[in-house]
A = this chain, B = another copy of it.
Amino acid sequence: MKVQQKHDVKVTDLFWSRYIDLVKEKVIPYQWEALNDRVEGAAPSHAIKNFKIAAGEETGEFHGFVFQDSDLAKWIEAVAYILKERPDPELEATCDDVIALVKRAQQPDGYLNTYYTIKEPNKRWTNLRDNHELYVGGHFIEAAVAYFEATGKRQLLDVMCRFADYVDSVFGYGEDQLRGYDGHQEIELALLKLYRVTKEERYLRLSQFFIDIRGEEPHFFDQEAVNRGEKPHRWYRNSYSYSQSHKPVREQEVAAGHSVRAVYMYTAMADLANELDDDGLKKTCETLWKNVTEKQMYITAGIGSAEFGESFTSDYDLPNDLAYTETCASIGLVFWAKKMLELEPKGSYADVIERAIYNGTISGIELDGTKFFYVNPLEVWPNQAAHRHDYKHVKSERQPWFGCACCPPNIARMIASIGQYVYSVKDQIGFVHLYIGSQTTLELDEQKVRIQQESEFPWHGSVSFKIDPEHSFSGTLAFRIPGWAHTFNMSINGEELSTQLVDGYAYVTRTWEKADELKLSIPMDVNILHPHPKLRANAGKVALQRGPVVYCLEEVDNSAGLSSLAIKDDQVIEHSFDQSTLGGVVVLKGKARRTENLTNALYVSNNELVTKEVDFKAIPYYAWANRGIGEMAVWNRKA
């Protein structure tokens, strides 16, 4: 087994601590109430009740989606991460109780799924395409691993090992086994986590099986449909690309279909490629990565540009206003990028993590933690969203909760585990991927090296590290220089350092002494970004980014009619931290030209229009829609 070095990280960052507090104080309690059907006005989740019924402790019918259980799993996982950051015996006791309930709902053979247990006990594994049994199991495995790592408690881990053992008996190449896989990938990545914690190689092999068998002919989803007495039914554009099973996984070169399923699968694939030293699979991952990040990713790290199938579409098809860009998909992209980074330490992977965590993921959560976006458009015209049926998925304000409540718990678990993305160790080199104030201890050449990071990201590019090895030792630390940086400075103990920049990391090799102080300064200029010429939706437009933060214009700051504004692209745009705006953010200010009409005609000659110079103000994209409903645009015309 390849060791993915475990190192606890305690986040002390100003920016992220606020979010972690929010998850602990608002999101987790709110979601707990929701799971228990105690939120007034919200559609009841029924998730806990389903478990009680399945455990034989209450009577009633199953309610909710077939994957309703997974909401509880993601809640437990988020609680686990929070307990590491913010220990809380009461929350832990609540979680222990609900885990005990989950255990009681498990069937004697290890099966765990309240939908089938309550509703169709004889129909297990008859509709993998649609019914998410392994998906739900995967989320409970992730929760079990996280809870074990946070608390040392094995109860849920044991439950999920029994589940995994049972799954391993049902699925496989054996004659009496199903050569099948889930319509929604998730168990593949979860089994790898379980393998790492338990060192049980069968879980590794089972994950590999699910990846290898996917998309093989004869198609499993066709076969099981026939077994159900149904006609095979490829609902998504007459292809199985919706579930990435349109062809064997290793032959896939273009990201297609449901974007969350896709990136969950790519995460497992990258992890497997690493674990198995599988160069072919690694190449597939790299090809898919290139496709996504060079042709199908929004500047916010949003992915999946179509509402239909919540899916990828085609290269360079990235409409700003029709975008789907589900919060969960960006979160999944972070998972995948982390695994790519473990495969190979390239700054471009961490760049995407950074782009996602400061933009297209946290845009999904209201600043006060109580409302959520499922869909994260890059441009909103409330009038259009209200009047056009083809924009019905676009909301101009965050919603309290969703029937299909995947995004809120997903953003909670990402925020609560943000520390996991900051550092890694590979080939005895310690990597710093993100500039997030934190403490950790890395093991390098069998030495424990304590690292304390202080950072002013994302508002200022000054970072300082206290490097504290047990004993002085020779070794290498590598610090990521973000793709957006034009330059950087590094010093150790006050002395400037010249470093080698390889694949986006500044490698510092030296004899590290106790209490070394390394300072890194990366000037954060405002970058005026242009789209690739094939990116049709953004032609003639520019986006503003400062450091890792992508900006947008909102109606509240710039008045209505954002499309009549054009930003001069040769100006120096001012930035200033404004404590009074959106809880304290850096805002950008500059000059724009606004076009105004002299007649009411729709189509006029140039002399029937005037333009005048106006000031514009931009705010971080993630914080949009926190001041009421209005127009918003990330990409604005250049003058």
Chain A positions within 8 Å of B, measured between CB atoms, are 237, 293-295, 297, 299, 306-309, 313-315, 317, 322, 381, 383-384, 386-390, 527-536, 539-541, 543, 545, 561, 563-564, 566, 569, 594-597, 600-606, 608-609, 637
Q: Check A569 against B389 for contact (C-beta < 8 Å).
A: no
A436 to B70 alpha-carbon distance, docked (Å):
69
Known: A317-B383, A600-B294. Contact between A308 and B530, CB under 8 A?
Answer: no
Q: Check B539 against A564 for contact (C-beta < 8 Å).
A: yes
Using Cβ atoms and an 8 Å threshold, which residues of chain B touch A637? 539-540
Q: Give the number of times this chain occurs in the complex, counting copies.
A: 2
| Contact for A389 among B237, B530, B540, B603, CB less than 8 A | B237
Interface of A is mostly: mixed
Q: Check B609 against A533 for contact (C-beta < 8 Å).
A: yes
Q: Check A535 against B389 for contact (C-beta < 8 Å).
A: no
A387 shortest CB reach to chain B, Å: 4
Q: Check A299 against B561 for contact (C-beta < 8 Å).
A: no
A628 shortest CB reach to chain B, Å: 19
Q: Check B604 against A532 for contact (C-beta < 8 Å).
A: yes
A633 — nearest CB in chain B belongs to which residue? B536
A564 to B601 alpha-carbon distance, docked (Å):
28
Q: Check A602 against B294 for contact (C-beta < 8 Å).
A: yes
A602 to B390 alpha-carbon distance, docked (Å):
26
| Contact for A529 among B237, B539, B603, CB less than 8 A | B603
Q: Check A606 against B569 for contact (C-beta < 8 Å).
A: yes
A321 shortest CB reach to chain B, Å: 9
Q: Check A602 against B317 for contact (C-beta < 8 Å).
A: no
A566 — nearest CB in chain B belongs to which residue? B540
A170 to B84 alpha-carbon distance, docked (Å):
77
Q: Which of A297, A540, A601 has the most CB of B within 10 A?
A: A540
Using Cβ atoms and an 8 Å threshold, which residues of chain B touch A293? 602
Q: Check B317 against A384 for contact (C-beta < 8 Å).
A: yes
Using Cβ atoms and an 8 Å threshold, which residues of chain B touch A314? 383-384, 386-387
A487 shortest CB reach to chain B, Å: 14
A311 shortest CB reach to chain B, Å: 9
Q: Check A531 against B602 for contact (C-beta < 8 Å).
A: yes
Q: Which of A322, A532, A595, A596 has the most CB of B within 10 A?
A: A532
| Contact for A561 among B297, B530, B534, B563, CB less than 8 A | B534
The 4 closest A-B CB pairs, nearest first, are A308-B389, A533-B564, A536-B563, A539-B563
A608 to B532 alpha-carbon distance, docked (Å):
9
A537 — nearest CB in chain B belongs to which residue? B563
Using Cβ atoms and an 8 Å threshold, which residues of chain B touch A237? 389
A322 — nearest CB in chain B belongs to which residue? B390
Using Cβ atoms and an 8 Å threshold, which residues of chain B touch A315? 383
